[in-house]
A = this chain, B = another copy of it.
Amino acid sequence: MAEKLVVVGGDAAGMSAASQARRHRDAGDLEIVAFERGHYTSYSACGIPYWVGGLVDDADQLVSRDPATFREDFQVDVRVRHEVVGIDLARREVVARDLEHGGREVRERFDQLVYAAGAVPATPDWARTDAAGVFGVQTMDDGAALIDWLDGDPAPRRAVVVGGGYIGVEMAEAMIQRGLSVSLVERSPEPMSTVDPDMGALVRKALCGLGLEVRSGVSVTGLESRDGRVAAVVTEHGTLPADIVVLGLGVRPNTALAAEAGLPIGPTGGIRVDLRMRVMDTPGVWAAGDCVESVHRVSGQPVYVPLGTHANKQGRIAGINIGGGYATFAGIVGTAVTRVCDLEVGRTGLREAEAAAAGFEFVTVRVESTNRAGYFPGAKPMTVKLIVERRSGRLLGAQIVGLSEAAKRIDVLAVALWNRMTVDEMANLDLGYAPPYAPVWDPVLVAARKAVEAIR
């Protein structure tokens, strides 16, 4: 009789695990059942702001593989609109509810379990409301509901986005593109607090240039509603009228069921897994994606970094191992990139505050350069910041803000971090040079040179 794999969560991590397991073991050897609460599988949640903003026409474009494809091409029994409500490790059984059939209970026995339940949006008390017009941006269903509201009658004109991280700024831009007047409220002194405040200030300027009202250093205290519809966001510093409110306050691991079942939860709130994505001390149970914690290769500490790129890798690794192969997840270095109108933002490694918290003593350098040779048409400014361990010269973190061909340069620094390079070595790196692509000293090299002088 075939072994049975049950997957909880049908997005990137869960379905990568399912498809990799299938690649290595056929349906006669491994039966696969996947439960997904929503309507969609394997979609790009990161694409939702572009769908809302109209750069992407159609939700289907964000779906890399739909349930029918998984059923037909991968022999994965995908059950969308099924919410898992219990995991019984002793009986090796998952309990789900079929949301399309009145919540009818479904039970499924498993030999192997992949827990990939993702994340839940952080929702502070003030955001708990029955008023319509308040949206998270986490799932495709969230995106669809938000677009319905934007297209509804009366059409909203004033948007308030709460939270100035990646999703917040991307959604603010999307709403500008839809013709709304938009305010962005962020508790930290500068938006984009995934970079240091000096770099965040550059992002704020770009956002203001968009016609966006940025209120940073401001906390939200409540919402006002009228006739069952949201009407305003109340802050410490006044009330902002709003016909639509978008919450981009980050997420936390969706571990309620996991904790109930007794899976080990780490200090970040994510599930603890080993290198092969096996849940620690829990035979036959795997976890991957936005519900697990990872190791930060620079600090050595566990961290919670919910990003599609990690979810895909981790799911794939779980699936290879379930399939009888061998693969390990080597941890993360904290790389992330985003685009805010014409501004590109990249970061990797530790921010100043993170480096200090990890116990590092460090120096920072910041340089201004250009994406292309200064004389080449289209040359645009770029700021590169490095955070470097004192004495050793080891790179600890880097941030880039620039107008063109800037963000992905962070990858060079991410690979340098990954390999524990010092800025002395980095100043020697053999990077591509041609006038359309870089000055003869690439901005990364200019920054490394300056850091070499700073650590002396």
Contacts and interface: CB of A to CB of B under 8 A. Distances in A.
Interface of A: 12, 44, 46-47, 50, 55-56, 61-62, 166, 297, 307-310, 312-313, 328-339, 344, 346, 348, 373, 375-377, 405, 407-412, 414-416, 418-419, 421, 425, 427-438, 440-442, 444
B47 A373 contact: yes
17 contacts: A44-B373, A309-B431, A310-B430, A313-B428, A328-B428, A329-B428, A336-B432, A337-B433, A337-B438, A407-B432, A407-B437, A408-B408, A408-B438, A411-B442, A411-B444, A414-B431, A419-B419
A339 B405 CA distance: 15
B433 A307 contact: yes
Given A408-B409, A408-B438, A412-B412, A376 B56 contact: yes
A44 B430 contact: no
Question: How many copies of the polypeptide does the oligomer hold?
Answer: 2
Contacts of A339: 434, 436-437
Contact of A432 (B62, B337, B373, B375): B337
Contacts of A335: 430-433
Given A375-B62, A425-B330, A429-B414, A434 B348 contact: no
A129 B438 CA distance: 37
Nearest to A412: B411
Given A428-B330, A433-B46, A434-B338, A415 B419 contact: yes
Given A313-B428, A330-B425, A333-B430, 13 more contacts: A47-B376, A56-B375, A308-B433, A330-B428, A334-B430, A338-B434, A344-B437, A407-B432, A411-B411, A411-B431, A412-B412, A415-B429, A419-B421
Contacts of A312: 440-441
